[in-house]
Amino acid sequence: MNRPGDFQKFAKVFQQQLSRVQQTGGRRGRGGPPNSPRRTLGAAGALLALGGGAFFFNNALFNVDGGHRAIVYSRIGGVSSRIFTEGTHLLLPWFETPIVYDVRAKPRNVASLTGTKDLQMVSITCRVLSRPDVGQLPTIYRTLGLDYDERVLPSIVNEVLKAVVAQFNASQLITQREKVSRLIRENLVRRASRFNILLDDVSITYMTFSPEFTAAVESKQIAQQDAQRATFVVDRARQEKQGLVVRAQGDAKSAELIGEAIKKSKDYVELKRLDTAREIAQILARSPNRVVLDNEALLLNTVIDNRTKK
Give the start-to-end residue ranges of the domains of the chain. Answer: 59-102, 106-209, 265-309
CA separation for the pair 38, 44 (Å, rounded): 10
Do 99 and 119 form a contact (C-beta atoms < 8 A)?
Answer: no
- Helix segments in 32-169, DSSP class H: 37-59, 137-143, 148-165
What local confidence, expressed as pLDDT, does residue 29 receive? 47
Q: Is residue 53 within 8 Å of residue 61, measured between CB atoms?
A: no
**pLDDT computed for residue 232 by the predictor:** 85
Taking alpha carbons only, the member of 80, 134, 81 closest to residue 104 is 134
Give the N- to C-terminal CA distance of the chain in Å, as an integer: 131
pLDDT of residue 2: 46
Task: Tell me what percent of the chain is helix, strand and coil, each rounded to the nearest 5.
Answer: 60, 20, 25
Tell me which residue of 132, 133, 127 sits closest to 184, measured CA to CA: 127
Q: Which fold has domain 106-209?
A: Tetrahydropterin Synthase; Chain A (3.30.479)
Amino acid identity of 221?
Answer: Q
Helix/strand/coil for 246: helix
Residues in CB range of 120: below 8 A, 6 or more apart: 169, 170, 209, 210, 213
pLDDT at 260: 75
pLDDT one digit per residue (tens) for the chain, 310 residues = 444 455 556 556 656 665 665 565 554 544 445 545 666 566 566 666 665 566 666 678 889 999 999 999 999 989 999 999 999 998 888 889 999 999 999 999 999 999 999 888 999 999 999 999 999 999 999 999 999 999 999 999 999 999 999 999 988 998 899 999 999 999 999 999 999 999 999 999 999 988 877 777 677 777 878 888 888 888 888 888 888 888 888 877 777 777 777 677 666 666 777 777 777 777 777 777 766 655 555 555 555 555 555 4
pTM strictly above 0.85: no
